[in-house]
Amino acid sequence: MQPEDYESEEENPVSYSIDNAILMHRDAHFAGSFPLMLEYYRVEGKKGANPEFELTRIEALYETERKSGKNLSPLLLSGAEAEKVGEALEAYRSLRTLYEDKTTGKLPLLIADLILSEEEDEEKAMEAVITQKSAIVPLLIDLIRSEKFYSPLFPGYGEAPILAAQCLGKIGDKRSLISLFEMLGEGDFFNEDLVLESLYAIGDPAKQFLLKVLQGHPINYDNERAALALIRFKEDPEVSLACLKLLKEIDIKKHTSFATYLVLNCEKLPEKERAEIAQFAKDPNIPKMVQQDLLALEKTWRAEGS
């Protein structure tokens, strides 16, 4: 039996889904308290505020719960949803234990600070981590490999791995290359850009790693990710020449998206190799999308020479 005035799933399935998400968020991050959640959401720009949750809807749920005198979560959340909340609460308890245990070392506490940091103290938490240099790298790698911390229900609101990735880039330890590379394509555009920046910050070790992946066989999604990441290194002739070589070797019809990344990386080709791009652009068998990229590249070079 649902509380009075509550819209059922049949009446508004979208609302029902959002309401469950709001309740899970409340229970995971605000100890099941709507007043605490509302206090947080009424301050603009808070890190953990989900943009899909309208303040008016949170207030409406709070009013429904207050009038009914019943906690909505047991009434509305499925067993699987309640289990996810339980996992998030356990993660909070584990972090709290680190602070309470007098034997906890400095490095785990810095990782906990990073995870729990709010917008206003993120930079301070990151700086404290970065000062530990290579010593803290294994813990940062563990964090970006931990699937649970990508969930907005868990401590850090799903942002902790990207903070760890930024720290790894600034530390510049090549042990982080594989883990950073595996983050590509797994998040939104903004976060992916930060991962690319972290790889670029590691410098030549990252470039050599990406070139090796780029040229691996058989061609798969990893080749595409490597080509994407190498766009940050496209000023380097070694990168542009490797991409041109692959363009000549692969079956472009079978690997069209990969080819488009390769073309992008050819922008800084030495003068004597640019004629090969012109030949490619004239090939009628090349997919139109790739051909357009080749022609755009030629146009860029002509503009530079004018």
Cis omega (within 30 of 0) for bond into 155 = no
Instruction: Give the pLDDT band (50/70/90) at residue 7.
Output: low
pTM of the predicted protein model: 0.88
Host H or E run for residue 294: helix 288-305
Range 68-91 average pLDDT: 96
Q: In a 10 Å sphere around its CB, with 0-12 CB exposed, 13-18 middle and 19+ buried, how is residue 81 labelled?
A: middle
- DSSP classification of residue 11: T
Residue entry with tokens 């542009």: 240
Q: Examine the pLDDT at 12 and tell me if it is beyond 60.
A: no
pLDDT in tens, 17-40: 899 999 999 999 999 999 999 999
Q: Examine the pLDDT at 186 and tell me if it is beyond 60.
A: yes
Q: How high is the mean pLDDT of the chain?
A: 92
pLDDT in tens, 95-118: 999 999 999 999 999 999 999 999
CATH numeric code, 204-305 = 1.25.10
Q: Where are the domains of the chain?
A: 13-77, 86-200, 204-305
With a CB cutoff of 8 Å and minimum separation 6, the contacts of 78 are: 20
For residue 38, the number of C-alpha atoms closer than 13 Å in the C-beta half-sphere is: 12
Instruction: Give the pLDDT band (50/70/90) at residue 9.
Output: very low
Residue entry with tokens 């995870």: 115
Of 2-6, 64-68, 140-144, minimum mean pLDDT range: 2-6
